[in-house]
Amino acid sequence: MGDKLTKREVDVLFDGTFEGFLCVVYSFYYEGIVPLSIQTTDEYQPSITLTEYFIVTDNDRARKVEKAIVKKISQDIARRVAYAFLADAADRYMNMLYYIILGFKVGHMVDSHMQYDFVLRVHKLAREVGREGHKLTGFCRFAETAQGIYYCAITPVHYVLSILAEHFADRMIDQSWIIHDKRHNKAVVYNGHEYTFVEVSPDSKPPVMAGNEAFIQNLWATYFNTLAIEARKNPKLHRQMLPMRYRGNMVEFSKHI
């Protein structure tokens, strides 16, 4: 692929969607676009040293690349790439590109090539995203609003909303809910049938709660505090299992009874 193409080394810009990133991969193979750096348009800061090149998102191209990754590398690796993409780390795009390029060369064996830093880096990012997503499937706390919608605020390091959306759309299938990522100013809204992702203004007000919400929250805090066995208290282990950064959004840590 791409042997006869004239190669151009440029600083690539794309729209920040996963499809957009896959189009960067497409351009590498079919248009000879070799990125020196990859940035999203909203993070982009113009500079005279950059030779920026904008790659337009095209869903057909994205799908073609996605299918090729599954077929020529593996389903597992396609999933790892999708998870690494959700990481909130500036270096993720370049490392993912190298990882995919190596994948097209060596197939599913790409994960064995741990001598390359970009392989380890993609593994690490995907692992972190997977871990945070899994943890939050447990640590999310919903509160019933006056409109009967269940609202949950989180402040995750990574962009894990899509992982949570899939989980809760299955679990709370008949319930309307919102998960609000306050760090990245995004939210996912589920209406009992389907979910959509929306941007949220940083100064949006928290919703008004239902009448019995405080009562239920108190019951939970009571339960939580009773369950600990005084003789076994172990603050260090507690912090390891449930890092402080999650606690701000968890009702059992904000109520003192």
Partner 1 sequence: MDFQERLKTLTEGAKYDVACTSSGVTRKGKRGMVGSAEACGICHSFTADGRCISLLKTLINNYCEYDCQYCVNRRSSDIPRASMQPHEVADLTMQFYRRNYIEGLFLSSAVIKNPDYTMEMLIKTLALLRGEYRFNGYIHVKAIPGSDEKLIQKLGQLADRMSINIELPSERSLTHLAPDKSKPAILAPMNYVKNGIIQNKEELKKFRNAAEFVPAGQSTQLIVGATPEADSRIVHLAQGLYKNYSLRRVFYSAYIPVGNETMLPAVPMPTFDTGTGLIHKEYGPLLMREHRLYQADFLLRFYGFTAGEMFKTEEENLSLHIDPKCHWALRNLEKFPVEVNTADYMTLLRVPGIGQISAERIVKARRVNKLNFENLKKMGIVLKRARYFITCNGKMAEKINFQPESIELRLTDNNAVGPYSQLTLSDVAIA
Q: Which residues bind partner 1 (CB under 8 A)?
A: 109, 111-115, 120, 134-135, 137-144, 150, 152, 168, 170-175, 216, 218-220, 222-224, 226-238, 240-242, 250-252
Cα 241 to chain centroid, rounded: 21
Which residue bears the tokens 């990012």?
Answer: 125
Q: Which is nearer to partner 1, 48 or 229 (CB)?
A: 229
**Least CB distance to partner 1 at residue 235 (A):** 6
Residue 20: in which H helix or E strand, if any? helix 18-30
Are 81 and 68 a contacting pair, CB within 8 Å?
A: no
**Least CB distance to partner 1 at residue 233 (A):** 5
Q: Which is nearer to partner 1, 205 or 233 (CB)?
A: 233
Q: Which is nearer to partner 1, 96 or 110 (CB)?
A: 110
Cα 36 to chain centroid, rounded: 24
**Least CB distance to partner 1 at residue 152 (A):** 7
Q: Which is nearer to partner 1, 109 or 198 (CB)?
A: 109
Which burial class, exposed, middle or buried, applies to 95 when counting CB atoms under 10 A from its CB (0-12, 13-18, 19+)? Answer: buried
**Least CB distance to partner 1 at residue 28 (A):** 24
What does each C-alpha distance from 28 to 24, 40, 61 come to in angstroms? 6, 17, 12
